[in-house]
Amino acid sequence: MPHYVYILKSLKDNKYYIGETANVAERLLYHNVGRQRSTKHRVPFVILLVEKFETREEALKEKTN
């Protein structure tokens, strides 16, 4: 199953967040409704970059580089 590394930009403070998911649209919504504890005070977010990987392991490896 493909996984994605994504970079979000907060429109509130102009800072970035890097994450990994199997469903980018669902994950963006999760952030923007304030369900992610580490980012809820920084909503709203927009997607700056999405990169696709064949496996979660590959995505996680890229995220940590």
Beta-carbon contacts of residue 61 (< 8 Å; ≥ 6 apart): none
Q: pLDDT-derived band of residue 54, with 50, 70 and 90 as boundaries? A: very high
C-beta of residue 6 within 8 angstroms of C-beta of residue 45? no
Q: Which of the four pLDDT bands, split at 50, 70 and 90, describes residue 57? A: confident
> Which residues does 15 contact at the CB level (< 8 Å), separation at least 6?
9, 42
Q: What is the pLDDT of residue 64?
A: 77
pLDDT in tens, 32-42: 999 999 999 99
Q: Place 62 in a pLDDT band, splitting at 50, 70 and 90.
A: confident
- Report yes or no: 20 and 6 within 8 Å, Cβ to Cβ: yes
Q: Supply the mean pLDDT for the chain.
A: 94
ω before 44 within 30° of 0 (cis)?
yes
